Amino acid sequence: MRWLEQKDPETHLAIMQEVEREQDRLILIASENYVSPSILEAVGSVMTNKYAEGYPGRRYYSGCEAVDKVEELAIARAKTVFGAEHVNVQPHSGSQANMAVYLAAIRPGDTILGMNLSHGGHLTHGASVSFSGHYYKSVSYGVDPKTGLIDMDQVRSLAREHRPRIIIAGASSYPRTIDFAPFRAISDEVGATFLVDMAHISGLVAAGLHPSPFPVADYVTTSTHKTLRGPRGGMAFSREAHAKALDKAVFPMMQGGPLMHVVAGKAVMLREAMDPSFRDYMARVVDNCRVLAQTLTDGGYHLLTGGTDNHLLLIDLRPQGLTGRDAEQFLSQAGIFVNKNGVPFDDKPPTVTSGIRIGTPAATTRGLGQEEMRQVGLWIREILDSRGKAEVTQKIAAQVRELLSRFPIYGEIRRSGSATPR
């Protein structure tokens, strides 16, 4: 950071402002986390200099001996962590991992069956504004309006009617455990490939706290920066029978040279996930989320499905007469960051929404426990109950900063621009 401060003070200032924001603000966005200083070092390493199109031992450039080693490490560790037959660690994101599976398994114009974006799915599961809804015929399933749980009868009915070439399970805002076996049975019945997008729950799967999709799925994809607590990126897994098709889909069909500094970060991430402490961390994430959910429920807030089994929860704010956009703004003024989120059967646009999504991975990484999360729930209630009243948000903002001062992150970066272990 010293070099950057000297050579480009404007960029250095922006980075340091982000460091301070992360220290002084409570991050409750379910898709965000803090990487370790080891991962920061790997992603900021000289691996960024190397062009490495191809795969270990089969590159299109010379001088790839070191990057081959780091990619082989990432591959071996991913197979160990998840019990996978094959993995490609090169995708730049979870979305590109999904694209690679589509390129490997189906053709443009084929039918895909995925979870409705407004019910908790993801853009790449067939949303019209995504490539997945543009190049493929998209059919969407949703949740039961009474329970908020995935409507498996609807999944089965749509699959029988439309005969999709691929069925996608997985979500970006679904607070309950997903049972993958019924999806597998439906896929077999209609002759579909079965893909599980575990982007949000991959850390739980790695820790053995969510059923693994690997025994039943043909393909599995994930991002690496959510519950896995790694650098921003993706991975795509498959059965060995599909390995060649998947690798060809990633390179050369979808992308060129991999980001080898990010692959190095993924290798470190997977090493961290192999440590017994990672399971303890994920268990605390789930416990913290349940405590937060109960505190909000006790305050009269309506949680989708009535609670949570994983790292996130969804609040339907319609009973309070609030929008997700308003709630997001009120909370951010107090130094608490969540994201506005649509709820099933929402009548408001995605820029407004009727709900918010809250997650506990980042706060748990910092060391916050159940006592702190109970206090956080009380703060959220007070802020939203007051409709973001200035004196309330200002008071709580000071309390948030005081709490977080007891759980510092990246202290050495703030002092001298280099990382130190947590």
Q: Indicate the helix (H) or strand (E) that contains 318.
A: none
Architecture of domain 276-406: Alpha-Beta Complex (3.90)
Which has the closest alpha carbon to 170: 141, 136, 146, 138?
141
* Secondary structure (3-state) at 397: helix
Sequence spans of domains, the chain: 40-274, 276-406
Q: Evaluate the omega torsion of the peptide bond into residue 9 and state whether it is cis, within 30 degrees of 0.
A: no
Strand 193-197 to 166-169 pairing: parallel
The answer regarding whether domain 40-274 maps to CATH 3.40.50.300 reads no
Q: Indicate the helix (H) or strand (E) that contains 252.
A: none
Per-residue pLDDT of the chain (422 residues; tens, 9 = 90+): 788 999 999 999 999 999 999 999 999 999 999 999 999 999 999 999 999 999 999 999 999 999 999 999 999 999 999 999 999 999 999 999 999 999 999 999 999 999 999 999 999 999 999 999 999 999 999 999 999 999 999 999 999 999 999 999 999 999 999 999 999 999 999 999 999 999 999 999 999 999 999 999 999 999 999 999 999 999 999 999 999 999 999 999 999 999 999 999 999 999 999 999 999 999 999 999 999 999 999 999 999 999 999 999 999 999 999 999 999 999 999 999 999 999 999 999 999 999 999 999 999 999 999 999 999 999 999 999 999 999 999 999 999 999 999 999 998 888 766 444 33
Residue list for the binding site: 117, 121-123, 240
DSSP letters along 105-162, please?
H--TT-EEEEE-GGGT--GGGT-TTSHHHHSSEEEEE-B-TTT-SB-HHHHHHHHHHH
What length does the chain have?
422
* Secondary structure (3-state) at 35: coil
Q: Measured between alpha carbons, how far is 59 from 286 in angstroms, rounded to an integer?
A: 42
3-class SS shares of the chain: helix, strand, coil, % to 5 = 50, 15, 35
Separation of first and last alpha carbons in the chain: 19
Compute CA 218 distance to the chain's CA centroid, rounded to the nearest angstrom: 21
Q: Are 28 and 34 in contact (CB under 8 A)?
A: no
Residue list for the binding site for (6S)-5,6,7,8-tetrahydrofolate: 117, 121-123, 240
